[in-house]
Amino acid sequence: ISNMSQLLSEELLDIQKMAREFAETKLRPISKEWDLIGDTPLDLYRKAAELGYTSLDIPESMGGAGLGALASSLMSEEFGKADAGFATTIQSSNLALIPVLLAGTQEQKKFASDIVVSGGLASFCLTEPNAGSDAGSIRTKAVKQNGEYIINGRKCFITNAPHSQFYVVFAKTDMDAGTRGISAFLVERDRSGLSIGKHEDKMGIRLSTTADVLLENVHVPEDHLLGKEGRGFHLAMQTLDRTRLECAAISTGIAQRALDLSIDYAKTRVTFGKPIAKLQAIQFMLADMEIRCQTARSLVYECARLVDSGTVNGKMNAIAKAYASEAAMQNALDAVQILSGYGYSREYEAEKLMRDAKIFMIFEGTNQIQRVVIAGHLLKD
Ligand code: COS
């Protein structure tokens, strides 16, 4: 597929191959059915966890495989080719785990890692009805009282919410301190007062579930605070700086699948007495799709290698996320155009790629926010 693979180690090539096989033989066959249902196939998720796919980048000391960001990105691309919603489910559990690994105590890290490694799901709860891009203006409150925090508020568009076993909840512990008044908490599913609200009936990534998380007088002991009081916003930003890379990797998978479908179709579809692949109009579209795939993949590999060498580069990960998601969207649109009538039919896969691609330009920070982040880095002193 990619001559970039030549630069991968034997170990990474093996991981890529196994992930591809799992995605093609286990995930793709059920993708269409579950896309109609609009829920996460939990049995397959557990199977993926048993094989280590939910914990490739979790340190060995926490029970994960400790294989790093590049291994995880390779898997995300392969899973993204078969079903981006399923890939999102896995990476969203990791999105909830990362702030725990970054700021948690040993007990908190162990608690959360055990869940994710053994196939449990988890949710990162930042967004609220009135605070999406402007994450600093959340209104969920956590009040300290008698050795506990009492949390009240409502989170929305929370990935995995109905199936999660723990939630990382961002809340204000000081209403007057702006982003410095935000703290992060580890909240278990069975805490009284925590409930799951409206299930979002989404356009795409329908194997990933999304719902509101309601917190009504949820009491958590003081030791459920993650990191220091007032450092929650910083922690959320640090987490997103890292996880946007996985969005880019899944997007690369969508972009590649759109190209693969287009090539197969163009070689076999005959018009005016020859396959449409012979038409320069189609060839130029295919070439542009390939340029986007290779560029997105290069960015993902580069950023993942940076992470594995100990540097999470927020600017580069934002570039990768913005570029790869736009590549996925454009390639999916082009695949629908090339397959034309068949592209528009729900019987075939191209229209699903188009529906799945769009969210990658929206979640984990819209692509406008990625540009805010990139410009912020450019203009920093
Ligand atoms: N890493 C660590 N700290 C960061 C940071 C980063 N990447 N970005 C900002 N911060 C810190 C700043 O240093 C500042 O800290 P101090 O108070 O110590 O000075 C603080 O956070 C506030 O920074 P800033 O003033 O830049 O925050 P803004 O409210 O202007 O918001 C953006 C900045 C827009 C970048 C932020 O709100 C954002 O990322 N929004 C999108 C949220 C998102 O991705 N949501 C999706 C949710 S998950 S699906």
Which residue, judged by its Cα, is nearest atom 28 of ligand 1?
136
DSSP per position, 214-251 = EEEEEEEEGGGEESSTT-HHHHHHHHHHHHHHHHHHHH
Our answer on whether the CB atom of 364 is closer than 6 Å to any ligand 1 atom is yes
Which residue, judged by its Cα, is nearest atom 17 of ligand 1?
180
Catalytic status, residue 188: no
Distance from residue 237's CA to the centre of ligand 1 (Å): 5
Distance from residue 295's CA to the centre of ligand 1 (Å): 27
Residue 5: the pLDDT is 72
Nearest to 253 by CA among 139, 83, 122: 83
Which residue, judged by its Cα, is nearest atom 48 of ligand 1?
364
* pLDDT, tens only, 162-189: 999 999 999 999 999 999 999 999 999 9
Distance from residue 126's CA to the centre of ligand 1 (Å): 12
* pLDDT, tens only, 10-42: 999 999 999 999 999 999 999 999 999 999 999
How many whole angstroms separate alpha carbon 321 and alpha carbon 363?
Answer: 10
Report helix, strand or coil for 148: strand
Our answer on whether the CB atom of 91 is closer than 6 Å to any ligand 1 atom is no
Our answer on whether the CB atom of 314 is closer than 6 Å to any ligand 1 atom is yes
Which residue, judged by its Cα, is nearest atom 8 of ligand 1?
237
pTM attached to this predicted model: 0.97
How many whole angstroms separate alpha carbon 137 and alpha carbon 143?
Answer: 17
* pLDDT, tens only, 226-282: 999 999 999 999 999 999 999 999 999 999 999 999 999 999 999 999 999 999 999
Distance from residue 107's CA to the centre of ligand 1 (Å): 27
Our answer on whether the CB atom of 237 is closer than 6 Å to any ligand 1 atom is yes
For residues 117-132, average pLDDT: 97
Query: What is the chain's Cα-based Rg?
Result: 21
Our answer on whether the CB atom of 179 is closer than 6 Å to any ligand 1 atom is yes
For residues 125-136, average pLDDT: 96
How many whole angstroms separate alpha carbon 103 and alpha carbon 225?
Answer: 10
Q: Work out the number of other CB atoms within 10 angstroms of the CB of residue 368.
A: 11
